[in-house]
Amino acid sequence: MPSLVAIVVAHDSADVLPGCLAALAGQHVPAIVVDNASRDASASVAEAAGAQVIRNARNEGYGRANNCGVRAAETAEHVLIVNPDVVLRPGAADALLAAARSWPDAGLLAPRLVEPDGRFFFQARSLLAPYLTNPGGRLALPQGDACAPFLSGACLMMPRALFLDLGGFDENIFLFYEDDDLCRRVAEHGRALIHVHGAEALHGRGRSSAPEPGRVFRSRWHQAWSRAYVSRKYGLPDPSLAALMANVPKALLSALILRRAGLERYGGSAAGALAFRRGGTALSREGLTR
């Protein structure tokens, strides 16, 4: 399957990479692992599994690292973006490629994601969906291949040429909403987003990276900042003031009662929203440049 190459971005992902890479190898899908300055053995684990490894000196974030991997996949007709905590079930890669042949207008295709508790993950709407908007968020799980308003960046397949033509993931985003943004641009380009029901992948949600101090605060910071950023990018109402009003009181209360988890959660959201309003960027927070 030389026309399909998997891109796996790793950051302290040594525990989950073996399962991910073994599943890809079992379906004859070569992998490029972009290691975002892991402090564990992620890069060595990937090399031992036979993957090509690109070692970033710093954590470049999800989108920038994936862009690097896609550029390196020079022989690929399609690229498969895969989180390290995703395991493709047997036959999934073939099913995705068959769907690409069946739906030639598809710009993005994604498998049926199954969560650790057995639930079928399907996001019925997206903040940025220009079509299939589903404003009430009614959840009707597909029973077969279906157009979708959003496909999760945890696992998706795309023609490499289209990915590069659209500029890949928005590199101003360090984390969160980069997949919503890509879905929006694919749809605006006149290409469909297809949920491929016959392709199945197991998603160990939240296990891509090992726990680290401050992870919740950092995650919530980027979530709030990125939501405000993509909202401005597409002319949607700025959510940052509402985020501040909702999260500052909760953060103060958490501090008053010495509840660290609440302080990290609500304080991170408030800090990200405030940084956006003050003109701060996700890249500057992470010490990166555009």
Average pLDDT for the chain: 94
Domains of the chain: 4-203 (3.90.550.10), 215-285 (no CATH)
Given a cut of 60, is residue 1 above it in pLDDT?
no
Given a cut of 60, is residue 210 above it in pLDDT?
no
Q: What is the mean pLDDT of residues 164-183?
A: 98
Give me the DSSP letters along 163-202: HHHTTSS-TT-SSSSHHHHHHHHHHHTT-EEEEEEEEEEE
What is the pLDDT, as a whole number, of residue 124? 86
CB 199 within 8 A of CB 4: no
Beta bridge partner(s), residue 9? 34
pLDDT (tens digit per residue) in 37-75: 999 999 999 999 999 999 999 999 999 999 999 999 999
Q: What are phi and psi of 151, to 5 degrees?
A: -125, 130
Q: What are phi and psi of 193, to 5 degrees?
A: -105, 120
What is the pLDDT, as a whole number, of residue 281? 97
Residue 211: band (very low, low, confident or very high) from pLDDT cuts 50, 70, 90: low
Range with lowest mean pLDDT among 65-74, 82-91, 120-129, 192-201:
120-129
CA 266/CA 192 separation, integer angstroms = 36
Range with lowest mean pLDDT among 82-91, 125-134, 202-211:
202-211
Residue 133: band (very low, low, confident or very high) from pLDDT cuts 50, 70, 90: confident
